Amino acid sequence: LVIVIDNIAYDCTYFLKEHPRGEQIIKSFGGAECSWQFWRFHGKKELEDFGRTEGMVNKFKEPQRYVGLKRLGDDEWD
Protein backbone atom coordinates (compact mmCIF):
# COMPACT_ATOMS: atom_id res chain seq x y z
CA LEU A 1 0.00 0.00 0.00
CA VAL A 2 1.48 3.31 -1.09
CA ILE A 3 0.82 6.77 0.35
CA VAL A 4 2.20 10.10 -0.87
CA ILE A 5 3.89 12.54 1.52
CA ASP A 6 5.45 15.75 0.18
CA ASN A 7 5.23 14.43 -3.40
CA ILE A 8 7.17 11.26 -2.57
CA ALA A 9 5.51 7.84 -2.64
CA TYR A 10 6.12 5.58 0.34
CA ASP A 11 5.33 1.88 0.58
CA CYS A 12 3.80 1.35 4.02
CA THR A 13 2.47 -2.17 3.41
CA TYR A 14 4.61 -3.72 6.12
CA PHE A 15 3.69 -1.01 8.63
CA LEU A 16 -0.08 -1.49 8.37
CA LYS A 17 -0.40 -3.94 11.26
CA GLU A 18 2.02 -1.94 13.44
CA HIS A 19 0.18 1.39 13.19
CA PRO A 20 -0.94 2.28 16.74
CA ARG A 21 -4.37 3.51 15.58
CA GLY A 22 -4.99 0.54 13.28
CA GLU A 23 -4.44 -0.20 9.62
CA GLN A 24 -7.70 1.38 8.43
CA ILE A 25 -6.27 4.88 8.90
CA ILE A 26 -3.42 4.21 6.47
CA LYS A 27 -5.67 2.28 4.09
CA SER A 28 -8.00 5.27 3.83
CA PHE A 29 -5.11 7.24 2.28
CA GLY A 30 -3.90 4.45 -0.02
CA GLY A 31 -2.57 5.89 -3.28
CA ALA A 32 -3.32 9.43 -2.14
CA GLU A 33 -1.58 12.56 -0.97
CA CYS A 34 -1.76 12.86 2.82
CA SER A 35 1.09 15.21 3.79
CA TRP A 36 -0.69 17.50 6.21
CA GLN A 37 -2.39 14.60 7.96
CA PHE A 38 0.92 12.76 8.33
CA TRP A 39 2.88 15.75 9.64
CA ARG A 40 0.17 16.64 12.15
CA PHE A 41 0.70 13.38 14.02
CA HIS A 42 4.18 12.17 13.02
CA GLY A 43 7.78 13.30 12.81
CA LYS A 44 10.72 12.59 10.54
CA LYS A 45 11.59 9.37 12.38
CA GLU A 46 8.26 7.77 11.50
CA LEU A 47 8.78 8.70 7.87
CA GLU A 48 12.15 6.92 7.87
CA ASP A 49 10.38 3.70 8.92
CA PHE A 50 8.60 3.55 5.56
CA GLY A 51 10.26 2.27 2.40
CA ARG A 52 10.67 5.04 -0.15
CA THR A 53 9.26 3.89 -3.47
CA GLU A 54 11.35 4.58 -6.57
CA GLY A 55 10.38 4.36 -10.21
CA MET A 56 6.63 4.74 -10.01
CA VAL A 57 5.16 5.63 -13.37
CA ASN A 58 1.80 7.23 -14.07
CA LYS A 59 -0.16 4.62 -16.03
CA PHE A 60 -2.05 7.28 -18.00
CA LYS A 61 -0.21 8.98 -20.86
CA GLU A 62 -0.46 12.77 -20.70
CA PRO A 63 -2.23 14.11 -23.79
CA GLN A 64 -0.54 16.78 -25.90
CA ARG A 65 -1.63 20.29 -25.03
CA TYR A 66 -1.82 23.09 -27.56
CA VAL A 67 -1.76 26.84 -27.12
CA GLY A 68 -3.03 28.47 -30.27
CA LEU A 69 -1.36 26.64 -33.14
CA LYS A 70 1.73 25.41 -31.32
CA ARG A 71 2.35 22.78 -28.69
CA LEU A 72 2.92 24.01 -25.18
CA GLY A 73 6.66 24.10 -24.56
CA ASP A 74 7.72 24.33 -28.21
CA ASP A 75 10.20 27.15 -28.86
CA GLU A 76 9.60 27.41 -32.59
CA TRP A 77 6.60 27.28 -34.93
CA ASP A 78 6.34 24.18 -37.11
Taking the mean position of all CA atoms in its chain, how far away is CA 25? 16
Give residue 47's pLDDT. 78
Residue 78, pLDDT > 60, answer no
The four Cα atoms 24, 51, 18, 4 give a dihedral, to 10 degrees, of -30
Give residue 23's pLDDT. 92
**Per-residue pLDDT reduced to its tens digit, 21-55:** 889 988 998 888 888 998 888 888 877 766 666 55
- Residue 6 CA to residue 35 CA, distance in Å, equals 6
> How many percent of the chain have pLDDT more than 70?
65
Beta carbons of 28 and 12 less than 8 angstroms apart: no
Give residue 45's pLDDT. 81
- Residue 23 CA to residue 15 CA, distance in Å, equals 8
Residue 56, pLDDT > 60, answer no
Number of Cβ within 10 Å of residue 60's Cβ equals 6
Domains of the chain: 1-77 (3.10.120.10)
